[in-house]
Amino acid sequence: MERTGAQILLECLLQEGVESIFGFPGGAVIDIYHHLPDYPALRHFLVRHEQGAIHAADGYARATGRVGVCLVTSGPGATNTVTGIATAYMDSIPVVIITGQVPTPLIGNDAFQEVDIVGISRPCVKHNYLVKDVKDLAWIIKQAFYLARTGRPGPVLVDLPKDVLQAKTVFEYPESISMRSYNPNLAPNRRQVRKVTELLRRSRRPLVYSGGGVISSDAAEELTWLCRTLRIPVTSTLMGLGAFPGDDPLWLGMLGMHGTYAANMAVGHTDLLLAVGARFDDRVTGKISSFAPSAQVVHIDVDPTSIRKNVNVDVPIVADCRQALRGIREELEICSDLPDWSEAHQSWLEQVSEWQRDHPLRYTFSEEPIKPQFVVEKIYELTKGEAIITTEVGQNQMWAAQFSKFHRPRTFLTSGGLGTMGYGFPAAIGAQVAFPDKLVIDIAGDGSIQMNIQEMATAVSYNIPVKIVILNNGYLGMVRQWQELFYAKNYCATCMHLNPDFVKLAEAYGAAGFRVTKAADVERVLKEAFAVPGPAIVDVVVEPEENVYPMVPAGAALTDMLLV
Amino acid sequence: MRHVLSVLVENEPGVLSRVVGLFSGRGFNIETLNVGPTLEDGLSLMTITTSGEEQIIEQITKQLRKLVTVVKVVDLTHLQSVEREMVLIKVNAEDERRAEVLRIADIFRCKVVDVSGNDLTLEITGDQGKIRAIVSLLQRFGIKEFARTGTVAMRRSMQVD
């Protein structure tokens, strides 16, 4: 039986196990929407802006580990996804973006709603396709999903001209894929693994620095085993939060620009840095030349380009993090003369706990105005790490990372690499669609939330009960903090004059709205908001000039921290 | 240091811009770039000359390998290889100097591919050194037009020290 391209696309999505699609229709993709009701297993969520669709697909992917799917029309529909594509690309999130395109005879003619989205998205996708013949559609979709989820995951875009969607052919889904030019290396090199165990055996001050790769390769269990068994303290990037239990005594918290004192000092003094699925981003390393100055560096990453891009590495292991960590475990298990790890690392662990004890994360409590850190602590206290937390970008994001604890992977969703304001709320919608029974909270700032606030309509219309907690300081707080510290308090264009009344705004959309101004009310109001059956906004009026500390000024060494 | 990369790619639309975009987007430099189909259907070979520190070249080759449409990348720099480039030069050659130009062309085994009353167009192939030499010799006559292909290169079968 012959089917149209649009039907074939939907059949392919079924075959890939897709359940949820986040999208926005338009002329170029109207054929897909025409057939969508025939596929009730594919739930479509109509967003209010295409950026919302791509972030929701991204949030769905981060929360589940599966490929998120976003469907938009040509031209402006496609370009509106670019920020979200770049966000997913920087954080290696598997997303397939399906964009409509003008009919093939019109391509290149500046047709209505035509844009070269394959060209525009090229620098920020793992790969992309323009389908020119309906006969190629099935294998391209198969490849797109395969590329998105394997190796170092990432976004893959498929551009579908309208005439291809209307053309007919027989549908056959290819069973396997063979690509001569794409064969990611997943298994670690045995000799390199042996070198790592040798280094571990000799090290007296080892430190694990884990990243998002641990989460995307589902290696949290292996990482936790290694650190607990060998008694190695652990720090992680923003993207790596949740891979190691946040209440474990070996956990030092995040490192880097807003990392903990203990984590940054540990990097400064370690003799063996085991970097797992992390890429030495500049927000993490600070001044490269003084990063881990006395350490030998082991770097495990599935992407060879990550290795030696920023720092010199003594033992590179190009492999899937999970397989590499398993390899190390197997190697250790066949060693006979292993040291008593607690004893070997005792003085190091003492030193590390001294740093933790002497310089914990802290803030000065105040009843009114409320301190934002207090709100984050309360959220953690009430949810006990059972919620999925998303964030916007800026101070809210850093406080969420610092003052929450994350015990399980895929419970903290944030735009790490690109730092995309407006990410958190639509991502929370995506996560909530995947886990309707979980509590999903977007920790937001008053600036960021306004970048995709229109998705409130999406949340309300599908009754997606996401809770937004706005740490409302009336500023673009992180930039204001930089202006205060490094630009002579010239608060140019960072004061959010005339913020909307967020309570009324929530109500206007049909959601619940709450406002808190006193610390004593925070717990009660949060509880109330979390108990509301639908989406809600909690507008917390916080101290306007509170800063995120510790802070390593850009370009300084990690050990040069500004403390509270 | 100058490096010559031989890059085998899937011959499909957009592959050139993927490669070029990688260089420009990451701030790498391309000195010459040459592309043509291979004997195998669906594959093209690019020869790219670039320069940079070892660490940059390592990044370039790794980033190229990461592109889904790139099949193989070989850095020919540390191998024995054959490098050639073809250049067309239109040089001033009025009557009294024509013989001299032809003599140089002869020494360099150039072909004369076009003649007029005032100029000669020469076709030269060779490695970079040879091209540089003839260009500097012809410059005093006045070069009117100059077109070059960029390097094509191949690994030698025998890798003799």
Residue A65 is encoded by which pair of tokens?
Answer: 């580990």
Q: Answer whether B59 sits within 8 Å of A305, measured CB to CB.
A: yes
Q: β-strand B43-51 against A412-413: which pairing, if any?
A: unpaired
Q: Which of B66, B67, B69, B70 to mutate to test the interface with A (most CBs of A within 10 A)?
A: B66
Q: Answer whether A304 sits within 8 Å of B65, measured CB to CB.
A: yes
Asked about A166 being catalytic, the answer comes back as no
Query: Nearest by CB to A303, which of B14, B18, B66?
Result: B66
**Among A15, A19, A113, A195, the one annotated catalytic:** A113
pLDDT of amino acid A497: 84
Closest chain B residue to A152 measured between Cα atoms? B66
Asked about A112 being catalytic, the answer comes back as yes
Q: How close B72 comes to chain A (CA, Å)?
A: 7
Q: Which of B68, B70, B73 to mutate to test the interface with A (most CBs of A within 10 A)?
A: B68
B81 close to A (CB below 8 A) = no
Closest chain B residue to A125 measured between Cα atoms? B67
Mean pLDDT, rounded, of chain B: 95
pLDDT of amino acid A336: 83
CA A516/CA A540 separation, integer angstroms: 5
Q: Rounded to 5 degrees, what angle do the CA atoms A425, A427, A430 make?
A: 115
**How sure is the predictor about B160, in pLDDT bands with cuts at 50, 70 and 90?**
confident
Q: Answer whether A181 sits within 8 Å of B71, measured CB to CB.
A: yes
CA atoms within 13 A on the CB side of A135: 0
* CB distance A19 to A147 below 8 Å: no
CA B67/CA B57 separation, integer angstroms: 16
CA A470/CA A376 separation, integer angstroms: 11
Backbone angles phi, psi at A193, to 5 degrees: -60, -40
Residue A508 is encoded by which pair of tokens?
Answer: 């206007």
Q: For residues A3-26, b (16+ Cβ closer than 10 Å) or e, as one string? A: bbbbbbbbbbbeebebebbbbbbb
Q: Answer whether A123 sits within 8 Å of B21, measured CB to CB.
A: yes
Query: Nearest by CB to A123, which of B9, B13, B25?
Result: B25
CA A435/CA A466 separation, integer angstroms: 11
**Among A7, A11, A45, A50, the one annotated catalytic:** A50
Asked about A113 being catalytic, the answer comes back as yes
Residue A505 is encoded by which pair of tokens?
Answer: 């705004």
Q: Which residues of B touch A126 (CB under 8 A)?
A: 68
Return the number of CB contacts < 8 Å for A and B: 37
Closest chain B residue to A144 measured between Cα atoms? B68
Q: Answer whether A179 sits within 8 Å of B68, measured CB to CB.
A: yes
Q: Which residues of B touch A86 (CB under 8 A)?
A: none
Q: How close A75 comes to chain B (CA, Å)?
A: 19
Q: Answer whether B13 sits within 8 Å of A130, measured CB to CB.
A: yes
Q: How close B12 comes to chain A (CA, Å)?
A: 11
**Among A478, A496, A551, A561, the one annotated catalytic:** A478
pLDDT digits (tens, 9 = 90+) for B31-57: 999 999 999 999 999 999 999 999 999
Q: Answer whether A122 sits within 8 Å of B21, measured CB to CB.
A: yes
H/E stretch holding B95: helix B95-107
H/E stretch holding B44: strand B43-51
Asked about A346 being catalytic, the answer comes back as no
* CB distance A128 to A122 below 8 Å: yes
Q: State in Å, rounded, how far the first CA of chain A is from the last one.
A: 69
CA A317/CA A417 separation, integer angstroms: 22
pLDDT digits (tens, 9 = 90+) for A33-64: 999 999 999 999 999 999 999 999 999 999 99
* CB distance A212 to A278 below 8 Å: yes
Residue A118 buriedness (CB in 10 A; 0-12 / 13-18 / 19+): buried
Asked about A50 being catalytic, the answer comes back as yes
Query: Nearest by CB to B17, which of A119, A127, A181?
Result: A119
pLDDT digits (tens, 9 = 90+) for A79-108: 999 999 999 999 999 999 999 999 999 999
Cβ atoms < 10 Å from Cβ of A501: 12
Q: How close B2 comes to chain A (CA, Å)?
A: 20
Q: How close A136 comes to chain B (CA, Å)?
A: 14
* CB distance A350 to A266 below 8 Å: no
Q: How many helices (H) and strands (E) does chain A have?
A: 23, 20
pLDDT of amino acid A335: 87
* CB distance B28 to B50 below 8 Å: yes
Per 3-state DSSP, chain A is made up of helix, strand and coil in percentages (nearest 5) of 45, 20, 40
> Which string of DSSP letters, residue by residue, matches A486-550?
HSTT--TT-B-TT---HHHHHHHHTSEEEEE-SHHHHHHHHHHHHHSSS-EEEEEEB-TT----S
Question: Which residues in chain B (118-147) have CB-CB distances under 8 A to chain A?
Answer: none
ipTM (interface pTM): 0.91
Over the Cα atoms of chain A, what is R_g? Answer: 24
Q: Which residues of A touch B11 (CB under 8 A)?
A: none
CA-based nearest residue to A518, from A337, A370, A338, A389 = A370
Q: Answer whether A308 sits within 8 Å of B55, measured CB to CB.
A: yes
| 10-residue averages of pLDDT along chain A (564 residues) | 96 98 98 98 98 98 98 98 98 98 97 97 97 98 98 98 98 92 94 96 97 98 98 98 97 97 97 97 93 97 94 96 98 91 96 97 96 98 95 98 97 98 98 98 98 98 98 97 97 94 98 98 98 98 97 93 88
Q: How close A204 comes to chain B (CA, Å)?
A: 30
CA A64/CA A67 separation, integer angstroms: 8
H/E stretch holding A269: helix A261-269
| Strand, helix or coil for residue A413 | strand
B62 close to A (CB below 8 A) = yes
Residue A202 is encoded by which pair of tokens?
Answer: 């000799």
């490269």: which residue's tokens?
A288
Q: Answer whether B62 sits within 8 Å of A304, measured CB to CB.
A: yes
Query: Nearest by CB to B18, which of A122, A303, A308?
Result: A122
């509270």: which residue's tokens?
A564
Q: How close A155 comes to chain B (CA, Å)?
A: 13
